[in-house]
Structure 1
Amino acid sequence: MSSFEPSSNDISERIDRLEMRLTFQDDTIETLNQTITAQWREIDALKRQIALLVERLADAQDQAEGPRNERPPHY
């Protein structure tokens, strides 16, 4: 074997390191996926809450007493 050819032990160590990196990356991707999924659930819930609040505000404005969209008396 020449000095430039890796030994089987070197190759085994490289494969072990690559497998560890792959395992770490798989775990990181799964964690990120779970985080993103949780964030989308929260965003959807907040969108529904905002839509409900907009609807309630519109109902409250419709039921409010007094003139609407009229100029104040000082004009």
Structure 2
Amino acid sequence: MSSIEDLQEQIHELQSKLAFQEDTIEHLNKMVTKQDDIIRMLERRFMHLGDKIDDIRSQLPDKPFNPADEIPPHY
């Protein structure tokens, strides 16, 4: 094989690798963007649940909950 053919083969191999890497980068970028959207949604839901917990706590009596005072449901 001549050196020109070797160079052409190497160029073709590099082009194939570059195309694969570009595809992989695009796929990973879409995945990261989707995960970022999910994280932001979960953060909003977490904050909303925190607000609900605070509302419930504000409605509870001042006496702390003591599990020993509770009767188990099977009695």
* TM-score, normalised relative to structure 1: 0.78
Task: Indicate the residue corresponding to 2:62 in structure 1.
Answer: 67
Tell me by how many angstroms 1:22 deviates.
0.2
Are 2:9 and 1:8 equivalent residues in the alignment? no
Match of 2:14 among 7, 13, 18: 18
Q: Which letter does structure 2 place at the counterpart of 1:58?
A: D
Task: Indicate the residue corresponding to 1:3 in structure 2.
Answer: none
Coordinate RMSD, CA, aligned:
1.8
* Bigger Cα Rg: 1
Structure 2: segments with no counterpart, 5+ residues: 65-75
In structure 2, C-alpha distance between the alignment counterparts of 1:68 and 1:55, rounded to whole Å? 21
In structure 2, C-alpha distance between the alignment counterparts of 1:15 and 1:29, rounded to whole Å? 21
Tell me by how many angstroms 1:68 deviates.
4.1
Tell me by how many angstroms 1:30 deviates.
0.6
**What secondary structure does 1:49 align onto?**
helix
For these two proteins, the number of residue pairs brought into alignment is: 66
Q: Which has the higher helix share?
A: 2
Query: What percentage of aligned pairs have identical amino acids?
Result: 35
* TM-score, normalised relative to structure 2: 0.78
